[in-house]
C-alpha cells in the first residue's frame, strides 16, 4: 500500500443550513478540531499523499481554515450544487494527475478512521475498480442499500427505489468510496443526471463500472464511521463518540481516569502512562503530559506542557505557554500562563503566575500575583531558585527575585531583589491602644441614631 499513490477528495461544499450557523458546517469542531480536519487526518493516516478539498459556501473562510490544519491540501470550488459526482469533478485537475487510488470522502463525517479507508484501498490494490464503504444496522430505514451478487456490488439503491426484498437488506451505503485512479475520470464523466432532481450522483458509478466489466466491491465499517453531522444534536453525539474512543485509548495506554465520562480530551492531547486524572478535567488543544503526573479534579488545561511527576489542581487553570518541569506543583485555584515552573517549585493556592519563571524549589505563597500587564504591554517576572514569596504579595513586572530571595507577606515588590536578600514592600504597621473600642462605640451610636430616625419617618 505504501507504494501506491493516493489522492483524497473531500467534499465540503454543503451549506449546512440545519446547523443554523454563519460558520460553514464542516468547520464546526469535534475535540477542538474542525470536522473536515478530522477527515483529512484519517485520509493522511490511511496513506493519502495529496488532499483535495471541494468547497463552496464560505469559500474564503474555508481556504483560511484549510491552510491552518492542512497546508499541503488544495481547495477547489464547486460553483453550482449539481450533485456528488459533480462535486468530485470540481477536483478534476487533481484527479487527472494519475494517482493509483482516489479516496472520496465527506467533510461532515468526522469519525471515519484510517482502518476503514485502508481496507477500501486494499481492495483496489487487489484489482477492484471501485470499493464502496458500507455499514450494517438493524434499522436501515432512510439509508441507501448495497445490493450484492456473487460477492460483487451491483448497485446502490436509494430506499425510495428499493423493492420489498431490497428494503430488507441491512448493509447500507456510508457514502465514502475508493476508486482506481486509472478509471476515475472515465467513470465520473459517464454519470448522467436523468433523475427527479436533475443531479449527478456519485453512487451511479457502481452500475456504470459494472456495465464496463470492472470489478466493484463493498467493504464494511462500523456505523460510527459513517455518522454524518447535520445539526448541533448530531455534533454533540459525534463529540461524545470521539471522546469515548479517546478515553478508552488513554486507559489502555496506562492512564488512570477515575471518572472517564467526565474527562474531555482535545484532538492532540498527549498524556503519558501512570498519569492519574481525577473527575471533571478538560484538556484543550496543545497539552503534553509526561508519565506519572497527577491532575486533580476540575482543572482546565490548554496549551501547556507538564513534566513527569507534577501535581496539578484541583481547580487549577493552565493557560497556553504554561511549562511545568519535573515534580512541580500548581495547586488549587491557581492560574499559570506563559510561564515556566521549574523542578520542584510550588505554586500552591490562590495564585496567578503570568509571563514569568519560577526557579527550581521556589515556594510561592497563597494570593501572590505577578503584575505582568500595564494596559499596553506585557512584562516578565523572574523568580530565582529556592526563593520564598510570602502570601498575598504582588510582584510588579519587570522585576526579578534573586536566588534564595525572601519576600515578606503582603509586599508589593517594584524593584529587583538580590540573591538571599529579604524584601519588604508594605506600609509600616501602627497600633493605637484602645482605639478599636472607641471606634466600635462611635459606630454603634451612629447606627442607633439612624435607626431611630428611620422609625420616626414611618
Pair 313, 293: CB distance under 8 Å: no
Distance CA 34, CA 19 (A): 14
The residues near 36 (Cβ < 8 Å, ≥ 6 apart) are 10, 12, 26, 27, 53, 65, 66, 107, 108, 110
Task: Answer yes or no: 183 catalytic.
Answer: no
Q: Which residues are annotated as a binding site for UDP-N-acetyl-alpha-D-glucosamine?
A: 11-14, 25, 78, 83-84, 144, 158, 173, 230, 319, 337, 352, 363
Q: How many residues does the chain have?
A: 458
Catalytic residue from among 57, 183, 349, 458: 349
Cell numbers for 170, please give them: 441491512
Q: Which residues are annotated as a binding site for Mg(2+)?
A: 108, 230
Distance CA 439, CA 119 (A): 84
Q: Which residues are annotated as a binding site for acetyl-CoA?
A: 366, 372-373, 391, 409, 426
Q: Which residues are annotated as a binding site?
A: 11-14, 25, 78, 83-84, 108, 144, 158, 173, 230, 319, 337, 352, 363, 366, 372-373, 391, 409, 426
What residues act catalytically?
349
Amino acid at each position: 500500500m505504501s507504494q501506491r499513490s493516493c489522492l483524497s477528495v473531500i467534499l465540503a461544499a454543503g451549506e449546512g443550513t440545519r446547523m443554523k450557523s454563519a460558520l460553514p458546517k464542516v468547520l464546526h469542531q469535534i475535540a477542538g478540531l474542525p470536522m473536515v480536519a478530522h477527515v483529512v487526518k484519517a485520509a493522511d493516516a490511511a496513506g493519502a499523499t495529496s488532499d483535495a478539498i471541494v468547497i463552496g459556501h464560505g469559500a474564503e473562510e474555508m481556504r483560511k481554515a484549510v491552510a491552518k490544519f492542512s497546508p499541503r491540501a488544495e481547495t477547489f470550488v464547486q460553483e453550482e450544487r449539481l450533485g456528488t459526482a459533480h462535486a468530485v469533478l470540481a477536483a478534476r485537475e487533481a484527479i487527472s494527475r494519475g494517482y493509483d487510488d482516489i479516496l472520496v470522502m465527506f467533510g461532515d463525517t468526522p469519525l471515519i478512521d484510517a482502518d476503514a479507508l485502508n481496507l477500501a484501498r486494499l481492495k483496489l490494490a487487489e484489482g477492484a475498480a471501485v470499493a464502496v464503504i458500507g455499514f450494517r444496522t438493524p434499522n436501515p430505514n432512510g439509508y441507501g442499500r448495497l445490493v450484492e451478487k456473487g460477492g460483487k456490488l451491483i448497485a446502490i439503491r436509494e430506499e425510495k427505489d428499493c423493492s420489498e426484498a431490497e428494503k430488507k437488506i441491512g448493509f447500507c451505503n456510508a457514502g465514502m468510496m475508493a476508486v482506481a485512479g486509472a478509471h476515475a475520470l472515465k467513470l465520473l464523466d459517464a454519470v448522467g443526471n436523468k433523475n427527479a432532481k436533475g443531479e449527478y450522483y456519485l453512487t451511479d458509478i457502481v452500475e456504470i463500472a459494472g456495465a464496463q466489466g470492472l470489478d466493484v466491491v463493498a467493504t464494511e465499517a462500523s456505523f460510527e464511521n459513517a455518522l454524518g453531522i447535520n445539526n448541533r444534536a448530531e455534533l454533540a453525539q459525534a463529540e461524545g463518540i470521539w471522546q469515548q474512543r479517546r478515553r478508552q485509548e488513554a486507559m489502555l495506554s496506562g492512564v488512570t481516569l477515575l471518572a472517564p465520562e467526565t474527562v474531555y480530551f482535545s484532538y492532540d492531547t498527549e498524556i503519558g502512562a501512570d498519569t492519574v486524572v481525577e473527575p471533571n478535567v478538560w484538556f484543550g488543544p496543545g497539552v503534553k503530559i509526561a508519565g506519572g503526573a497527577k491532575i486533580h479534579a476540575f482543572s482546565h488545561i490548554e496549551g501547556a506542557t507538564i513534566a513527569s511527576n507534577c501535581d496539578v489542581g484541583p481547580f487549577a487553570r493552565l493557560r497556553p505557554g504554561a511549562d511545568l518541569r519535573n515534580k512541580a506543583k500548581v495547586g488549587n485555584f491557581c492560574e499559570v500562563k506563559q510561564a515556566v515552573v521549574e523542578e520542584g517549585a510550588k505554586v500552591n493556592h490562590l495564585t496567578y503566575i503570568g509571563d514569568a519563571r519560577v526557579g527550581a524549589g521556589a515556594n510561592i505563597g497563597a494570593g501572590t500575583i505577578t503584575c505582568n500587564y500595564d494596559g499596553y504591554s506585557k512584562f516578565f517576572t523572574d523568580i530565582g531558585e529556592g526563593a520564598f514569596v510570602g502570601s498575598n504579595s504582588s510582584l510588579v513586572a519587570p522585576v526579578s527575585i534573586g536566588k534564595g530571595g525572601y519576600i515578606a507577606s503582603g509586599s508589593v515588590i517594584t524593584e529587583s531583589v538580590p540573591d538571599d536578600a529579604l524584601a519588604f514592600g508594605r506600609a509600616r504597621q501602627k497600633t493605637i491602644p484602645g482605639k478599636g473600642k472607641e471606634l466600635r462605640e462611635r459606630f454603634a451610636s451612629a447606627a442607633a441614631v439612624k435607626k431611630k430616625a428611620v422609625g420616626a419617618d414611618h
